[in-house]
Structure 1
Amino acid sequence: MRLLPEPGPARTLALSTLVNTVGRGTWLTASALFLTRSVGLSVAQVGLGLTLTAAVSLLASTPMGYLADRYGPRGIQLAALVASAGFTAALLTVRSFPGFLAVGMAMAVADAASRGARGALIAGAVPADQRVRTRAWLRAVTNVGISVGAVVAGFGIAAGTRAGYLTLILLDCVTYLVAAAILLRLPSVPPVPAPTHGPRLIALRDRPFLVFTVLDGLMSVHFGLVNIALPLWIAEHTTAPEWLVSGCMLVNTVIVVLFQVRASRGTEEVAGAARAARRAGAVIAVACGLFAASGGVPTPAAVALLLAGAFVHVVGELWHAAAGWGISFGLAPAHAQGQYQGAYGMGMQLGGMVAPVVVTTLAVGWGVPGWLLLGGVFLLLGLLVPPVARWAERTRPDAPVAHPVPVG
């Protein structure tokens, strides 16, 4: 399997993403330890800070996507990457919780701008029938980049010194700048004229799309099953060895890298994507049942059930991701791809914010009944997506009359 797609805009986007996510992987791996051991923050302060910055990113997503539509997504993406490099460098000076919060919120706004611009950039630079496939490539290389970054971060963490952590932060800064330089090879996507009448942030008034966004966001809680609930479940409720946590994560990462592009086939249109969402809900429900069954059984059976659950879960994850891309691209008006992609991202962020509480309370706290309840919820969410998608397609607004907006 190739690591990058065919030459062209998709390859440029994938290469930029690969470089950027290596840096992101180093920061994600080392951030908690840097903030507690080097900056001196408490665990509670780190948790509160990450929650607040996530909320800022969520609120900024749609407005930042609107800016990408109005001023051109490539320019906004480049500005977001350069700004992210600067804000990341500012972490070198952080010595207190207020300082961390200020830098973290600035980074959150830049990250929101980058996400919205990336969606609009894909919509403008890639043919419509290749958009979902391109997103699938980007997700595959993201997993590779983060994995490489995690390995690199291990060396800085092993050093256990402030200099080691600062080196990792500087590496993250460099990857932002290199990713921006690679994007300069991408042809500029012109800004879309603003509508002459009516509201600007139409994505936030599009009820069917917002309902889909909420459903998709709630479905994305399943990402917390493998990286939050499963480690605790294996350690506290099964006889399986704790190293199996890494085994389950490896199953997830390898399958995403190898099969995300293939799993996106048939989701280029809204109807096909909605069917994939329905399949995803059913398959993730089965995975929850397998995880539940692993509790209180002999070790060989527990290991087999957990690995089977991890495999089944990642199949649902592949379909869920592809379905979200197909529906979000398909429902977005041509003049508002940026803000619609930003709004779609709000659902994923919402899911990420509630996942820790939901999966630890139900799967770990309630045990088998909690796993089964979660499975039922995912099944229901998947079943609701097709009728909501049909409702959204029936109510698509006509393209508005627009006038050019001066840029500069």
Structure 2
Amino acid sequence: MTTAASAPPLPPAPASPTTRLMNDPTVRGIAALLSVNAVGNGLFLTISTLWFTQGLGYSVARVGLALTVAGLCGILASLPAGRACDRWNARTVLTCLHLLQAAAVGLYAVADSFPVFLVLACLATAGSRANATARATLYAHVLPVGIRTRALALLRAVNNVGIGAGAALGSLLLAFDSDAAYRAAIGVSAAAFLLALIPLRRIPLTARPPAAKTDVAQTAAARHAAVPGRRAAQPLRDLPYLAVTALNGVVNTLYVVLEVALPLWLLTCTSAPRAMVGWLLVTNTALVVALQVRATRGITGPPQAARAFRRGGLLVAAACLAAACAAHRSPIVAGAVLLAAAVLLTLGEVSSQAGSWTLSYDLAPDHAHGAYQGVYQTGISASQAFGPGLLTTLVIPYGTAGWVALAALFAGAALALPPTARWAARRSAPLKSTG
């Protein structure tokens, strides 16, 4: 008879998908890189506007002009960065960009001449957008296809936690409201770019083969098989990919809605408490951390990614309609409506992003991820550069009608994406037969 004392031990519980991802050394290395970088970014975003206007003494108009010009420089930086990653490697390009950003951000502490401030803003913003392209290319090179989308979701959650931590640190420093505190924050932000080089150096340069071929891995391998004598990639001539990029850029304007349009709408056109501005951002950050990994479930290729993107875009459109309903309400009702709009916007964000990642990689040839990510990131940069001006001049002044028009724009882009993605997949099909 077997006694309780001699019973065999129970097998350990299987690790969750998130735990298995974090056990991957490459994912851990990228997560460490993003964590350090995100804390610095969150800190800088929290104190930068006050430092530019109060510490350096520039008017809001001059700061706006500098950031607008810098945004245009950011648009121009993505494609060259991607091509540089294809020519050399993403890790080397990222190393150079981190050094550039550390210098540009650090010099903000002493930018007491407007021309110098303008140059630093252009360098910092161009470096940031080029950094996004190089990171996206690095993911393509070092993350196996079978885990890439889930890994990117986890990394995005890690990034949001880091930004939240940096913003909290920035809020503490704001309490001192002194030049010394602002300069210290800028120094820490610059140092974060240098500290991030430590985990970056540990990330391998070449991709590892996935443990098992998934459907998406087989599709990508067939479509992008090496072709002797193949010409250099020309993403600017790939009309289907450009169309997907444009639609993604439209939906990516949701970040401008969250960071610019919703706060302005709350403050100028509703009776919701002013403190709700912070709570809307906190709600967004918390939900992204909680839901982004889950939003990638079931996305194994472009068809599923396109459907997730469509669902996300329609949710963002619904958020715009909800925001419009906050006007002419009591403070409590207006606050509740805006909170609901932020929740819808975040649900749309996590869903559309999960689809966007897969489309950006699976519709591009494996030998030219840098150039194609450069194009894709250019679309995102354009939405970030032009979005604030468009929303503040074409949406907020027109109230409900402006929000309805914006909702129609998001819904149209969301509904157009699936057939556009199918077109892009068909256009890439000839490469299958040459593999």
With normalisation by structure 1, the TM-score equals: 0.91
Deviations 1:283-319 (A, max 9, x none): 1121122111222133343233222221111101111
- 1:159 is paired with a residue whose SS is coil
* 8 Å CA contact 1:116, 1:339 repeated in 2: no
Q: Return the offset for 1:160.
A: 2.3
1:303-314 correspondence runs (5 A): 303-314=335-346
1:8 match: 25
Identity level (%): 36
2:258 match: 226
Q: Return the offset for 1:108.
A: 3.1
Choose the corresponding residue for 2:285, options 253, 273, 277.
253
Choose the corresponding residue for 1:43, options 48, 56, 60.
60
Matched, 1:22 2:54: no
2:246 match: 214
Q: Return the offset for 1:29.
A: 1.4
- Greater Rg, structure 1 or structure 2? 2
1:304-343 correspondence runs (5 A): 304-343=336-375
Distance 2:365 2:116 in 1: 40
Deviations 1:67-102 (A, max 9, x none): 111111112112221232222223233221110122
Matched, 1:74 2:91: yes
1:284 match: 316
CA RMSD of aligned residues (A): 2.4
Which amino acid letter does the alignment assign opposite residue 321 of structure 1?
Q
* 8 Å CA contact 2:141, 2:205 repeated in 1: no
Q: Return the offset for 1:362.
A: 4.0
Distance 1:113 1:209 in 2: 19
- 1:316 is paired with a residue whose SS is helix
Which amino acid letter does the alignment assign opposite residue 398 of structure 1?
L
Which amino acid letter does the alignment assign opposite residue 77 of structure 2?
A
Distance 2:283 2:172 in 1: 24
With normalisation by structure 2, the TM-score equals: 0.86
Distance 1:116 1:285 in 2: 27
- 1:187 is paired with a residue whose SS is coil
Distance 2:161 2:228 in 1: 40
Aligned length: 398
Report the more deviating stretch, 123-132 or 379-388: 123-132
Q: Return the offset for 1:373.
A: 1.4
Deviations 1:36-78 (A, max 9, x none): 2222222122111111111112112011111111111112112
Choose the corresponding residue for 1:129, options 146, 149, 154.
146
Stretches of 4+ moved more than 4 A in 1? Answer: 1-4, 193-198
- 1:165 is paired with a residue whose SS is helix
1:405 match: none
- 1:395 is paired with a residue whose SS is helix
- 1:367 is paired with a residue whose SS is helix
- 1:240 is paired with a residue whose SS is coil
Q: Return the offset for 1:136.
A: 1.3
1:394 match: 426
Segments of 5+ residues of structure 2 without an aligned counterpart are 1-15, 208-225
* 8 Å CA contact 1:221, 1:354 repeated in 2: no
